[in-house]
Amino acid sequence: MGGKNEHTTFATRLGGIAAAVGSAVGFGNIWRFPYITGRDGGAAFLLIYIVAVLLLGIPMMIAEFSIGRSAHRNVVDAYRKAAPGTKWHWVGGLGLLVAVLILGFYTVLSGWTLRYTFVSLTGDLHGGEFLGFVSDTYQPLFWTLLAIFINASILLGGVQKGIERASNIMMPLLALLLLVLVANSATLDGFGEGVAFLFVPKWEDVTVQTFLDAIGQAFFSLSVAMGILVAYGSYLGDNTKIGKTAISVAALDTLVAILAGVVIFPACFTYQQEAGQGPGLMFETLPTVFEQMPGGWPLGAIFFLLITLAGLTSCMSIFEVPISYLQEEWHISRRRAVLVSSIYALAVGICCSLAMGAWSDFKLLLPTGHGWESYNLFDFLDNLTSRYMMPVCAILTSILVGWYLKKDFMHDAITNWRTDSGWYLRPLLILLRFVAPALILIIFVANLL
């Protein structure tokens, strides 16, 4: 190859894990996981989810980390290097596109959490304000702008001094906040009922949809098929054990999701609120709960700070996908790449934010098995990426590493070029060749029906 390879790596193994956990732990864990669990049979869903993480999530993480780490390049070039002279880099391009589209609305969501953190810190947290707030024209824009600004200032620091350092501070803080909330949860009257709800399976609530939800959630929560794991994988050192890293990230991600449930369900039971009622859980139900809870002022603030940290470290990881691409493929400085990505995020963020209010009549269409469905821009980007693009990206990635590339590719990746044991190569390849594509195809098709 020659030339200068400016591609950096994380300074420490733990820093890499902190960054990857930071990406994985996001709104998916603290908001989506509890409400789906609430709806889909409590522990029954949890068990199915864990199986989905083991069979699908972890193998896909290992595959993406491997593609990134083998190349030490941005997502498009990483796929190109894995299969030179072919069209496989288009799959990297698809991952890049998914990240870029998600970025468009994720900063808006992060902005909402900043607003809720602010009002809860000032003691002004109230339930019932959510719809008014998000459909307002200017307020959410201010918070979106702030979210982008915070992200950009961290990302400007680079991989080690920006992402890694921020993750090393924010993830332990997140864990601490979570433990404070769990401890408080144990003091609530509804603790027993809430925990039982989470840990006693209700198999009668399990439907086909439960399985689809579990697979989709495993994907989303582990940040699979968004270019992120390839980008972060490219920063893993050559002696980092990829399998161990993927398992640690998945285990911590699942632990945070379960603990978020331990915080949320007892609170909902104590104050007679529905936990399975859907997206309103985070911004409608919980503010109402904290309003009534003794100590609700600091606790609400702690909770929203927790969500803000979780969202911020995830948002950083999506930003990093286009940033590393721009730096390496457009040959521009990191500063410029951060600037270009931020301006883009702001432009799309403004549109997504307005889509919740002033522009909500502007609809976009997506095809399904029973005709076209219309969405506002925010939901359109969410559905387009999660229901259509991510499954395609994931299937193609599993085919690339499972079928197209020689076995040696994964063997080298998981054994650090044969310096370590690779006893799990065979089961891993079986999962990547057969199980992963089949399961993804099933959810892809089912989601269209």
Residues that bind ligand PHE (CB under 6 A): 23-24, 26-29, 102, 106, 220-221, 223, 226, 228, 314, 317-318
Q: Please report how close the Cβ of residue 110 comes to ligand PHE at its closest, in angstroms.
A: 10
The conformation of residue 432, written as its DSSP 8-state character, comes to I
User: Do the Cβ atoms of 76 and 93 come closer than 8 Å?
Assistant: yes
User: Do the Cβ atoms of 230 and 71 come closer than 8 Å?
Assistant: no
CA atoms within a 13 Å half-sphere pointing along the CA-CB vector of 188: 30
Q: Please report how close the Cβ of residue 15 comes to ligand PHE at its closest, in angstroms.
A: 18
Q: Report the DSSP beta bridge partners of residue 74.
A: none
Q: Report the DSSP beta bridge partners of residue 427.
A: none
User: Do the Cβ atoms of 218 and 49 come closer than 8 Å?
Assistant: yes
Q: Please report how close the Cβ of residue 171 comes to ligand PHE at its closest, in angstroms.
A: 14
Q: Please report how close the Cβ of residue 246 comes to ligand PHE at its closest, in angstroms.
A: 14
Q: Please report how close the Cβ of residue 247 comes to ligand PHE at its closest, in angstroms.
A: 16
Rounded CA-CA distance 187/182 in Å is 9
* Closest alpha carbon to 225 in 109, 37, 96, 414: 96
User: Which is closer to ligand PHE, CB of 285 or CB of 313?
Assistant: 313
Q: What's the CA angle centered on 297, arms 295 and 299, to 5 degrees?
A: 70
Rounded CA-CA distance 137/413 in Å is 49
Q: Please report how close the Cβ of residue 33 comes to ligand PHE at its closest, in angstroms.
A: 8
Q: Is 449 helix (H, G, I), strand (E, B) or coil?
A: coil
CA 13 to chain centre: 21
Q: Which helix (H) or strand (E) holds 136?
A: none
**Positive/negative CA dihedral, 385, 387, 391, 392:** negative
User: Do the Cβ atoms of 69 and 233 come closer than 8 Å?
Assistant: yes
Rounded CA-CA distance 398/429 in Å is 9
Q: Please report how close the Cβ of residue 318 comes to ligand PHE at its closest, in angstroms.
A: 4
User: Do the Cβ atoms of 189 and 270 come closer than 8 Å?
Assistant: yes
User: Which is closer to ligand PHE, CB of 167 or CB of 317?
Assistant: 317
Q: Please report how close the Cβ of residue 359 comes to ligand PHE at its closest, in angstroms.
A: 23
Rounded CA-CA distance 260/425 in Å is 33
* Closest alpha carbon to 159 in 363, 10, 12: 10
Q: Please report how close the Cβ of residue 72 comes to ligand PHE at its closest, in angstroms.
A: 21
User: Which is closer to ligand PHE, CB of 164 or CB of 190?
Assistant: 164
User: Which is closer to ligand PHE, CB of 184 or CB of 245?
Assistant: 245
User: Which is closer to ligand PHE, CB of 49 or CB of 106?
Assistant: 106
Q: Which helix (H) or strand (E) holds 384?
A: none
User: Which is closer to ligand PHE, CB of 233 or CB of 357?
Assistant: 233
Q: Please report how close the Cβ of residue 214 comes to ligand PHE at its closest, in angstroms.
A: 14
Interacting residues of 175 by C-beta distance below 8 A, sequence separation 6+: none
Q: Please report how close the Cβ of residue 26 comes to ligand PHE at its closest, in angstroms.
A: 2
Rounded CA-CA distance 170/181 in Å is 16
Q: Which helix (H) or strand (E) holds 367?
A: strand 364-368
Q: Please report how close the Cβ of residue 299 comes to ligand PHE at its closest, in angstroms.
A: 22
Judging by beta carbons within 10 Å of its beta carbon (0-12, 13-18, 19+), is residue 320 exposed, middle or buried?
Answer: buried
User: Which is closer to ligand PHE, CB of 23 or CB of 245?
Assistant: 23
Rounded CA-CA distance 304/296 in Å is 12
User: Which is closer to ligand PHE, CB of 102 or CB of 154?
Assistant: 102
User: Which is closer to ligand PHE, CB of 222 or CB of 289?
Assistant: 222
User: Which is closer to ligand PHE, CB of 106 or CB of 197?
Assistant: 106
User: Which is closer to ligand PHE, CB of 384 or CB of 399?
Assistant: 384
User: Which is closer to ligand PHE, CB of 317 or CB of 327?
Assistant: 317
The two three-digit tokens of residue 243, written as one number: 């399998």
